[in-house]
A and B are shown apart, each in its own frame.
Chain A
Amino acid sequence: MDPAVPAIGSSLPRVDGVAKVTGRARYLDDLDAAGAWHGATVRSKTAFGVLEAIDLDPAFDWSQVVVATAADIPGANVIALIEDDQPALVKIGQRVMHVDEAIALVAAPTRALAFEAAKHITPRVRAMTPVYSLEDALACKQPLYKDTNVFKQFLIRKGHEADAELDAAFARAAQVIEGTYDTSPQEQMYIEPQAMMAEWRDGRCFIVGSMQCPYYVHKAMKALLGCGPDGVVITQSVTGGGFGGKEEYPSMLAAHVAVLAAKAKRAVKIVYDRDEDIAATTKRHPCRTHHRLAVDAAGEILAVDIDVVMDGGAYLTLSPVVLSRGVLHAAGPYRCPVVRVRGRVVATNHPPHGAFRGFGAPQTTFAYERQMQKLAIARGEDPLALRKRLALRSGDTTATGQLLGFSVGTDEVIAAIEGVAGTAPTRDGTGPTGAPVRRGRGVCFYFHGAGFTGSGEQRLAGRATIALTTAGTFEVRSSSTDIGQGSITMFTQIAAGALGVDASLVSVIDPSTANVPDSGPTVASRTCMVVGSLVDQGSRALAGQLQTWAAENGLGGRPLLEIAKARSAHGELTHTVQYEPPPGIEWNDTTYTGSAYPVYGWAACLVDVSVDLDTYEVTIDRCVQAVDVGKAINPSIVKGQIEGGTLQALGWAVLENVVYKDGKVANANMTNCIVPTFADAPDLETILVEVPYPFGPSGAKGVGEIPMDGPAAAVANAVENALGVAFDRLPISPEAIAATKSQWSPS
């Protein structure tokens, strides 16, 4: 092997790093677009009602701008995704379903004029009684979706067929732990707001923008524009973060710029203002989980019974899939013979909730890890020892009856935490300001299914291409986007490693539906594990093809680079690989049984906190995460993923929140919709554990989402340990802590 070949497991510097830190990387708003106009969106101020008219202020000079409404949409007025219930623009006579829903569009030569013009357009809406709470949605006095308000429901049963058997298991219990857990909506707060540009050339629409999933946008635009696959080209621009927020929502902006560009007969771009972005785009689903846990006298779990209800918001969007991941993780990584999980996601008049790192699992993880904490307290058992005693291992079955075999890192991640835990902090002390503090320690243990749920990967049948270009270099062509997580570097490393060439000879091309195959969306912790595996296989196959060609052309035995150089003179050579599921993966979508995921990541987390008794603020003094990632292709990037996900989880635990008031985001600005700063972050300790997945590239499995799932429960467990009061609702704000003061354990 060439000594310059970057080894798998080495921290190759980020391929895109220098361009990003020097400001050379050009995001959508930086792109040259001579003559491009700017778009602005007219939004509803009403949460629920019927759009009766769209009034244009007669005093405004409309000659300088272009206005578009639902009537200008050439194809179907839907954001095609799972179900076609969400319009791109509300049509007159149709229902407005949430505040800040898009009703009309304006394009103008300057952004200021576009925003000014938008202020002179007034939607006239006949208001109806909105639905905001889970209770009202379920009671369904006001149907928003079909006649139930339930977008999707699931029922998982293990070890029983009828409820009576479940009841019998609970009747045998020596102890039942029961609780209700509420988790809050969360804003992704990617650094680059949503941004998109469209231009029509020769009857085709070219759309470029900030996005995770070019082919999701492509699918939506085919429907909206009423065109075939070649009628629209979607290209990802350099993207400043997504976290799920640019999974489904970019199709909305794409629809808007496409319609405006057609009407304005020129390129039109829309770059959301930050406040607009927070107000109008998707958030993490708020969720209420009721959890009952039955144990016998020896502390073995007899049964769990879980009921999950999520607020889907006004349209279905991705809610069924979010709920699916939520219920599939709800029973946790623990041995349990009898499981019932019920899940519902309901319609309300909140803006639609959507994808966010973890995708339903953080919500239900919070619930089961609070339950395990309560069980440990009730039994007087060490919390980590309890988890170790009950955890799933190879040979056990999950809630869906999946028999675990390879790559179960339970013992390794727990041992890693035990190894560094040290002595728990002394409960009572004094903080740096002289205020008394209460300290506590919390742990959690959790898992996260990597890749799409059930048969999703088979249905997607993702593809990736490795090409030898005519320049004698190699290209990775996939629709997986680098949104800041480092996938370009990871793909480079995998391809260079598999080909045995220097990383500088490999490039990962910018994803465009014109020049990359559909590798599936950039979601579900699947980019490295699934698409990386395709890149690995494709690179090896291409190297094989080159060796065969060399043998046939008298170059056998020469170095690959020399062969590649010779072969490139004859034109491009490509190899495309399509995903094949690993053997033994069987999933029943009707009964929700079988292999929910091809493999799981496993993690344990330890958190030490101190609570300032003057201000009731929680300080995270220490946070250790041990995460089984299968194999860290690039340890520096993997640690970055874990640290970022951990801080996002710590923020969700103690300070982040999206506050709705009358259906509107009441804190739609960065001043009040806060995320942690470095001053709020502890030194994050990350321990990489590698229990290889035989079907991932070099053993790698998913890492993107897992760090988000566990830390919030660990924080709640630590605060409970400090104060002696249970915290079952997020965020654990200073205000929430102050309100429990009378219940604290005595000093």
Chain B
Amino acid sequence: MTSYLRPRDLEEAVVARAAYPNWMVLAGGTDLMVNANHKPIPGGILDLWRLGEIGFIRVGDGAIAIGAGTTWHEVERHPAIRDRLLPLALAAREIGALQIQSRGTLGGNIGTSSPVGDSLPVLLALDATIEVASVRGRRSIPYSTWCTGYRTSLLASDELIVAAHIPLPGAGTWTTWRKVGTRRAQSISKVMGAAAIILDGGTVVSARVALGAVADRPIRITAVEDAVRGLSLARAAEAARAAVRTSIQPIDDIRSTSVYRREVAENLVARFFTSAAGVS
């Protein structure tokens, strides 16, 4: 038998989480339903679906805070996210089908921490901070340090994800995202990437570049970030391509090959820089 608890508020939720750290935390249920066919049924379920305190989108002066319980449909439809954090809105639109987007949540993607989580490279590129809560209190974790391995993270066993805080990119920052899946919709990514490129005219001041599906976790490609500083966009594109080549070791699996993933990752990252040329 599986135990089930649906807390009334966050306070009750963190108490339950502390009491039952091995229970599955359920947001929209999209992982639970997939696992139902392949994995043992969890001993207990802590259901946070539609918990008010984690279901919000707050637009502040310097950042947008998105509650962990926000669905991808809500993310994709939000005018401020579309306006200021376009890559996140675009990623939201590519997560499964509309039915999945209406159940799956930002917190679920962050918590599951799959190497192919579609929003995760965007959170890296946009330099998000994750706010978590427990009976011990709240803390903030830079998303750049969040992922610790294959589906593992810094989230402690008594903690719940409350929100992602995403700083608003400045006027000179070009943000972009691309997913390459097995087909055009409802697919698992073969390679994906996101970038935030801070420009001064046609020169790269700095950049954050992230890739998914090329390692055991979503990763920032610091070699690219180091290589492109101070370069023109055209030269940055070539430097980025070379840096990607030597900094990832993707795998062969049922969906694609290591060779393909590496080559496409190079192309995507290079394209992030050349496509920025049109806006600078």
Contact = CB atoms under 8 A, between A and B. Distances in A.
Nearest to B188: A671
Given A434-B274, A614-B271, A676 B260 contact: no
Contacts, number: 63
A617 interface: yes
Interface stretch (B1-9, B69-77, B143-151, B178-186): B178-186
A734 B191 CA distance: 12
Interface string A470-492: 00000000000000000000000
Interface in A597-619: 613-617
Contact of A735 (B178, B186, B188, B260): B260
Nearest to A434: B275
Interface stretch (B47-55, B105-113, B261-269): B261-269
B183 A655 contact: yes
B185 A679 contact: yes
A739 B259 contact: yes
Interface string B32-56: 0000010000000000000000000
B259 A666 contact: no
A659 B182 contact: no
Nearest to B271: A614
A677 B274 contact: no
B183 A679 contact: yes
Contacts of A741: 263
B182 A674 contact: yes
Interface in A462-517: none
A616 B185 contact: no
Contacts of B254: 659, 666-667, 672
B267 A680 contact: no
A614 B268 contact: yes
Contact of B264 (A678, A680, A738): A738
Interface residues of A, number: 27
Contact of A655 (B37, B182, B267, B274): B182
Contacts of A738: 259-260, 263-264
A230 interface: no
Contacts of A671: 188
B257 interface: yes
Contact of A616 (B37, B188, B264, B278): B264
B267 A615 contact: yes
Nearest to A435: B271
A672 B271 contact: no
Which 6 A-B pairs rank lowest in CB-CB distance, beginning with the nearest? A679-B184, A679-B185, A614-B267, A735-B260, A434-B275, A677-B185
Given A434-B278, A734-B260, A735-B256, 20 more contacts: A273-B37, A434-B275, A613-B267, A616-B260, A616-B264, A655-B182, A655-B183, A659-B254, A666-B254, A671-B188, A672-B188, A674-B183, A677-B183, A678-B185, A680-B185, A734-B264, A735-B259, A738-B259, A738-B260, A738-B263
Interface of A: 273, 275, 433-435, 613-617, 655, 659, 666-667, 671-672, 674, 676-680, 734-735, 738-739, 741
21 contacts: A433-B178, A433-B271, A434-B278, A435-B267, A614-B264, A614-B267, A614-B268, A614-B271, A615-B180, A655-B182, A655-B183, A672-B188, A672-B254, A674-B187, A677-B184, A677-B185, A678-B185, A679-B184, A680-B184, A735-B256, A735-B259
